[in-house]
């Protein structure tokens, strides 16, 4: 069952409904579907065979979605490229996937020469943008205009659909293989987690090349609803677009949500169309969530926990974000296992732990990746007996609600005590002069690892070690309080808006064994 079936259904059922909105351009499902079928025809004319990998390097746009569906319609496997990657990283991924054709949008044409010069087997470059095409390069728009639509290749559920790279937060990104079947599961599970009665207009702000963004797009395709595309995250533009397009659904990572609600013009826009907000992908500061809930009282908030390897594992529904949920602490949970998923918290040997104890979260369901591309050892470590080992530390309460405590790699073991960096970050973020922070382990002769905080003060905010330490001491145990502080203007963020802690840790650990 190919993902393209979702599009076919929308074309038949609601041909005149708006499929995509990108700046001033609107396309109905009829037009979008026609372009997808023509794009597939172009790819086949260029020699793409079923199962071949096709790369896509571009920012969020309607053309990105056409390329995605066009590749699937032609029977290919999409390899979306992270737009933040260097040429060397792009080439690594293209070579890794043996990508025959690379679709490049207007923003990345300047990268093409470098890519072709260093790739082992330079891919065929096709320009997918609407701007002028470089000399000698194929233009998809011209070929689509002159070409003919072809029939859907109708791939099977077990056929590969895409190779998505992980966020690269903890190490070099890994290619995660999903089939049409696992993607259908991911889309349906998300739809079940956040039902959308009535018409939905979703604004895609999170990058489509990550699971968060593409997974949200799948929901919209399955439901046959409208996609509004934002090139990247700009808080003002997001506010403006919500007002202009009467957006109903938004998925944001916590750093984006914070930027949105603290924007000086937040109150100047009519956000009354907004019905549902899904947040997740990294820990959220309690103060950010409280403020968001207060500022958007009519919006249903859902917390989603997931990863590239499985889409979603747990979700915390809107009812847990109300007054009661906030009082009981449930609003801070990542919620229960998503529809069709089972989760457990286990020890190092894979044994399930009693409720309340912290261990590794593992998940199983029809949404799990098939494996990491070309990485059998990593695949064997992550997928064991049908369960995916997430690498995330969590505890579960008696009601099955999961609380993510930290990535196991980010946990700090100081003097034999486990310190969860996310907990300390939450406490520091409550200080009124703190804009953002990250807590990491640094080497310490006495404690093995010591808690170290990297703090970004608010503009004009007055902060020093003593004040922050006193603040932490008043809220958490002494062994959890940072032994040292460092002040910076900003934190290194990945394309998904996550703090890249390994970049903060590296200088401290350089030279350590
Ligand atoms: P890499 O695997 O390359 O280091 P990554 O793990 O950041 O990168 P993703 O698959 O995009 O790549 O992210 C999944 C991870 O993000 C999860 O394993 C978890 O650590 C974190 N995460 C996702 N959702 C949440 C959430 N709701 N709360 C806390 N952490 C989350
Ligand atoms: Mg990961």
Are 328 and 349 in contact, with CB atoms under 8 Å apart?
Answer: no
The mean predicted confidence, pLDDT, of the chain is: 95
Q: What are phi and psi of 382, to 5 degrees?
A: -80, -40
Q: Which ligand is nearest to the CA of 206?
A: 1
Cβ atoms within 10 Å, residue 23: 12
**Which residues have a Cβ under 8 Å from the Cβ of 203 and sit 6 or more positions away?**
228, 229, 230, 238, 241, 242, 245, 247, 249, 250
Q: How far apart are CA 421 and CA 127, in angstroms?
A: 43
What is residue 452's three-state secondary structure? strand
Ligand 1 close to Cβ of residue 167 (< 6 A): yes
Q: How far is CA 367 from CA 100, 191, 195, in A?
A: 27, 13, 18
| Minimal-distance CA residue to ligand 1 atom 24 | 281
Q: Give the pLDDT of residue 331.
A: 92
Q: How far apart are CA 76 and CA 43, in angstroms?
A: 9
Ligand 1 close to Cβ of residue 171 (< 6 A): yes
Of 234, 197, 282, which Cα lies nearest the Cα of 497?
Answer: 282
Tokens 């090139």 label which residue? 231
Ligand 1 close to Cβ of residue 306 (< 6 A): yes
Ligand 1 close to Cβ of residue 407 (< 6 A): yes
Ligand 1 close to Cβ of residue 210 (< 6 A): yes
- Pocket test residue of 308, 395, 495, 496 for ligand 1, highest count of atoms within 8 A of CB: 308
Q: Give the pLDDT of residue 170.
A: 84
Reading the block at residue 505, the tokens are 């840790």
Ligand 1 close to Cβ of residue 498 (< 6 A): yes
Please give the helix or strand (H or E) that residue 80 lies within, else none: strand 77-80
Of 174, 184, 4, which Cα lies nearest the Cα of 89?
Answer: 174
Ligand 1 close to Cβ of residue 334 (< 6 A): yes
| Minimal-distance CA residue to ligand 1 atom 12 | 167
| Minimal-distance CA residue to ligand 1 atom 30 | 282
Q: What is the pLDDT along the chain (513 residues), one digit of tens a residue?
A: 999 999 999 999 999 999 999 999 999 999 999 999 999 999 999 999 999 999 999 999 999 999 999 999 999 999 999 999 999 999 999 999 999 999 999 999 999 999 999 999 999 999 999 999 988 899 999 999 999 999 999 999 999 999 999 988 888 889 999 999 999 999 999 999 999 999 999 999 999 999 999 999 999 999 999 999 999 899 999 999 999 999 999 999 999 999 999 999 999 999 999 999 999 988 888 889 999 999 999 999 999 999 999 999 999 999 999 989 988 999 999 999 999 999 999 999 999 999 999 999 999 999 999 999 999 999 999 999 999 999 999 999 999 999 999 999 999 998 888 999 999 999 999 999 999 999 999 999 888 899 999 999 998 888 999 999 999 999 999 999 999 999 999 999 987 788 999 999 999 988 775
Q: Give the pLDDT of residue 168.
A: 87
Are 74 and 153 in contact, with CB atoms under 8 Å apart?
Answer: yes
- Pocket test residue of 165, 169, 206 for ligand 1, highest count of atoms within 8 A of CB: 169
ipTM, two decimals: 0.99
What is residue 409's three-state secondary structure? helix
Residue 494 alpha carbon, nearest atom of ligand 1: 7
Reading the block at residue 307, the tokens are 């990863």
pLDDT digits (tens, 9 = 90+) for 278-335: 999 888 888 899 999 999 999 999 999 999 999 999 999 999 999 899 889 999 999 9
Please give the helix or strand (H or E) that residue 175 lies within, else none: strand 175-179
Residue 280 alpha carbon, nearest atom of ligand 1: 27
Q: How far apart are CA 288 and CA 255, in angstroms?
A: 9
DSSP result, 304-368 = EEEETTTEEEEEE-GGGGSHHHHHHTGGGS-BEEPTT-EEEEE-TTSPBPPTT--EEEEEESTT-
Of 225, 198, 227, 199, which Cα lies nearest the Cα of 214?
Answer: 227
- Pocket test residue of 164, 165, 306 for ligand 1, highest count of atoms within 8 A of CB: 306
Residue positions counted in the chain = 513
What's the CA-to-centroid distance between 195 and ligand 2, angstroms? 27
Q: Give the pLDDT of residue 172.
A: 84
- In sequence order, what are the beta bridge partners of 417? 414
Q: Which ligand is nearest to the CA of 282?
A: 1
Please give the helix or strand (H or E) that residue 11 lies within, else none: helix 4-13
Residues with Cβ within 5 Å of ion ligand 2?
166
Ligand 1 close to Cβ of residue 35 (< 6 A): no
- In sequence order, what are the beta bridge partners of 414? 417, 448
* pTM score: 0.93
- Pocket test residue of 84, 92, 93, 166 for ligand 1, highest count of atoms within 8 A of CB: 166
Q: Give the pLDDT of residue 118.
A: 94
DSSP result, 189-201 = HHHHHS---S--E
What's the CA-to-centroid distance between 174 and ligand 2, angstroms? 9
Ligand 1 close to Cβ of residue 390 (< 6 A): yes
- Pocket test residue of 84, 301, 309, 404 for ligand 1, highest count of atoms within 8 A of CB: 404
Q: Give the pLDDT of residue 513.
A: 57
Q: How far is CA 335 from CA 121, 155, 400, 402, 431, in A?
A: 45, 34, 8, 5, 27
User: Nearest 5°: CA angle at 24, between 22 and 28?
Assistant: 65
């Amino acid at each position: 069952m190919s993902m393209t079936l979702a599009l076919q259904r929308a074309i038949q059922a609601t041909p005149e409904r708006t499929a995509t909105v990108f700046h001033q351009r609107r396309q109905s499902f009829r037009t979008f579907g026609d372009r997808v079928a023509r794009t597939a025809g172009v790819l086949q004319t260029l020699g793409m065979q079923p199962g071949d990998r096709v790369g896509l390097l571009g920012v969020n746009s309607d053309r990105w979605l056409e390329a995605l569906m066009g590749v699937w319609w032609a029977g290919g496997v999409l390899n979306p490229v992270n737009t933040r990657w260097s040429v060397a990283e792009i080439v690594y991924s293209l070579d890794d996937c043996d990508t025959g054709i690379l679709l490049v949008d207007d923003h990345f044409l300047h990268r093409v020469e470098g890519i072709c010069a260093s790739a082992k087997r330079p891919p065929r470059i096709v320009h997918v943008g609407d701007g002028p095409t470089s000399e000698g390069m194929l233009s998809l728009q011209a070929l689509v205009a002159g070409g003919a639509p072809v029939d859907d290749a109708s791939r099977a559920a077990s056929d590969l659909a895409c190779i998505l790279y992980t966020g690269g937060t903890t190490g070099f990104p890994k290619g995660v293989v999903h089939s049409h079947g696992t993607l259908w599961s991911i889309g349906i599970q998300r739809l079940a987690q956040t039902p959308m009665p009535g018409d939905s207009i979703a604004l895609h702000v999170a990058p489509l090349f990550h699971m968060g963004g593409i997974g949200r797009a799948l929901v919209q395709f399955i439901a046959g609803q409208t996609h509004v595309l934002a090139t990247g995250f700009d808080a003002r533009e997001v506010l403006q677009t919500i007002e202009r397009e009467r957006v109903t659904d938004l998925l944001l990572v916590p750093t984006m949500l914070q930027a949105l609600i603290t924007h000086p013009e937040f109150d100047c826009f009519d956000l009354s169309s907004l019905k549902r907000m899904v947040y997740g992908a990294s820990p959220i500061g309690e103060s950010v969530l409280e403020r968001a809930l207060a500022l958007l009282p009519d919006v249903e908030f859902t917390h989603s926990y997931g990863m590239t390897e499985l889409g979603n594992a747990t979700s915390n529904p809107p009812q847990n974000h109300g007054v009661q949920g906030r009082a009981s602490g449930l609003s801070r949970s990542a919620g229960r296992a998503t529809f069709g998923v089972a989760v457990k918290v286990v020890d190092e040997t894979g044994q399930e732990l009693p409720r309340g104890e912290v261990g590794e979260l593992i998940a199983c369901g029809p949404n799990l990746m098939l494996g990491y591309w070309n990485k059998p050892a990593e695949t064997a470590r992550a997928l064991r007996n049908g369960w995916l080992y997430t690498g995330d530390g969590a505890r579960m309460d008696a009601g099955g609600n999961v609380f993510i405590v930290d990535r196991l790699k980010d946990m700090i073991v100081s003097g034999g005590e486990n310190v969860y960096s996310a907990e300390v970050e939450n406490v520091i973020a409550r200080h009124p002069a703190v804009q953002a922070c990250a807590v990491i382990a640094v080497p310490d002769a006495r404690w093995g690892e010591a808690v170290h905080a990297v703090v970004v003060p608010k503009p004009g905010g007055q902060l020093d070690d003593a004040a922050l330490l006193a603040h932490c001491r008043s809220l958490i145990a002494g062994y959890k309080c940072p032994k040292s502080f460092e002040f910076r203007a900003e934190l290194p963020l990945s394309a998904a808006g996550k703090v890249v802690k390994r970049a903060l840790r590296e200088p401290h650990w350089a030279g350590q064994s």
